[in-house]
Amino acid sequence: MRIDIISVLPEMFTGLIDCSILKRAQDKKLVEIHVHNLRDYTTNRHRRVDDYPFGGEAGMVLQVEPIDNVISALKKQRNYDEVIYTSPDGEVFNQKIANVMSSYENIIILCGHYKGIDYRVREHLITREISIGDYVLTGGELAAAVMADAIVRLIPGAIGDEQSALSDSFQDNLLAPPVYTRPAEYKGWEVPEILLSGHQAKIDEWKLQQAMERTERLRPDLLDKEE
């Protein structure tokens, strides 16, 4: 898989994509993550990629030309399953979307910035707009990193125990059940006896019961989606 990220602040990705699971997946050649500086694709001698919006609104807008230049350059090299724009008014990213995208070959993520991007980009170049929540960030870089992390960890081989990813919260519209590790008793706080029983069928039943209870208490909206 290949992920191309377009940003006006590529330095924000230093560290984010070079450690933990993302680094291991790249080292294993399971994924390539390339960050492109939008300023490298402008014809402006001052490397400017933004301008004032028509109509007199406050703020600055990313221009269509440099965005078109970088996306066109990338598309000449390979086909892309999606060209994603990180936008607060896009569809909300979730585990289901991450699952689908983990099977893609190539994606582009364009990081929003300033007041936004020239709407012609959204009309003619973008295939999907995604938000990571109902709030506004300074730019889409953090959103792009969140999506990359959620997607890459689902690629077979990216994490040591693939079954671990399948049991994560939201995979089946349920929150994950409680987890414990050694010691079995600490300051009088004990691990539920069922988990120490060795009876896997009863353990699985307990986990499902706990997942249902936690979801109903903390995120009942997930159960509504299931219905």
Domain ranges of the chain: 2-152, 167-226
The CATH superfamily holding the domain 167-226 is tRNA(m1g37)methyltransferase, domain 2 (1.10.1270.20)
pLDDT at position 69, please?
98
Return the CATH number of the domain spanning residue range 2-152.
3.40.1280.10
Q: Which contacts (CB < 8 Å, 24+ apart) does range 56-59 have?
A: 57/115, 58/115, 59/114, 59/115
List, for the chain, all residue ranges whose pLDDT scores fall below the cut of 50. Answer: none
Instruction: Give, for 160, the enclosing helix (H) or strand (E).
Output: none
* 103 backbone φψ class: left, alpha, beta (φ>0; ψ -120 to 50): alpha
Q: What is the pLDDT of residue 92?
A: 96
In a 3-state reduction of DSSP, which class is residue 163? helix
- Residue labelled with tokens 């993302």: 22
Query: From the CB of residue 152, how many other CB atoms can be counted at a distance below 10 Å?
Result: 24
Residue 164: per-residue pLDDT: 53
pLDDT of residue 161: 60
